[in-house]
Amino acid sequence: MGATGIIFRREFRAYTRSPMGYIVAAVVLLLDGILFYAVALGPRAGQLLSGQALDRFLYNASGMVAVAAVALSIRLIAEERQTGTLLLLDTSPVRDWEIVLGKFLSALAFLGAITVATLYMPLMILVNGKIAVGHILIGYLGLICLGGAVLSIGVFATSLTRHQLVAAAVASVITGTLFLFSGMAQVVGAPLGRVFAALTIHGRHWAGFGSGILHLRDLVYYAALTYFFLYAATKVMEAKRWE
């Protein structure tokens, strides 16, 4: 097993053994359940088609995934600096990209487990209504892509500082700005509006997943955004190693 795999196992075990991991999971599942009831089982549920109910559930779930991703990522490197254990990693024969990748994959795996745990909700719509299985699968692929992108932003933020609150603030500002690009694209005229639409982390790039339509451009966008912030985190780690 390589260094990335060892770090992955160590960090994933930390999520399963710490209260933080269970608190995030419990909050996400609780709020997703409440929102699902309001959309699919509430008083106005009869006014929506099954596909529309699934669209709204996925839209609400995407917001929860983004918040959970920030919460799960801010401890990854900042906590190592606070406890002094990052020095052990820096002096060991482990490359910075292996540290970043191992920590990112552990957070993505835990976030993925939380997300999959909500799968019974759209399955209830499937049993009682008419929706395509592909719509559910594509929607959940979108949740994982969005979660991975926000996690990479969190990893970058936590590589900058030893303080988790500062990392949370940086990650929230970057993520919030990328979300706001969607609204700004509708207000600002061309060509700047098209630039905002292309950069937004939600809006244009999420719409296809939420509707059950898979576009290659959206996969490329989320993969590129994730790579960019993980690469930036690696460069920050390299710079701080030689301070």
Of these ranges, 5-14, 65-74, 206-215, the one predicted with the greatest mean pLDDT is 65-74
CB 115 within 8 A of CB 140: yes
Q: How many helices (H) does the chain have, and how many strands (E)?
A: 12, 0
95 versus 23: the higher-pLDDT residue is: 23
Distance CA 45, CA 94 (A): 53
Whether pLDDT at 180 is above 70: yes
The mean pLDDT of 222-242, rounded to a whole number, is 86
Supply the pLDDT for residue 231.
Answer: 93
Q: Is the peptide bond before 191 cis (omega within 30 degrees of 0)?
A: yes
Q: What is the pLDDT of residue 47?
A: 56
**Amino acid present at 154:** G
At 227, list the tokens. 């790579």
Say which residues have a Cβ less than 8 Å from residue 61's Cβ, sequence separation at least 6: 32, 35, 115, 118, 143
Q: Does residue 46 or residue 97 have the better pLDDT? A: 97
Residue 39 to residues 11, 50, 88, Cα–Cα distance (Å):
35, 10, 49
Report which DSSP code applies to 44.
T
Q: What is the mean pLDDT of the chain?
A: 82
Nearest to 115, CA basis, from 185, 49, 32:
32
Instruction: Break the chain into its structural domains and give their ranges.
Output: 3-242
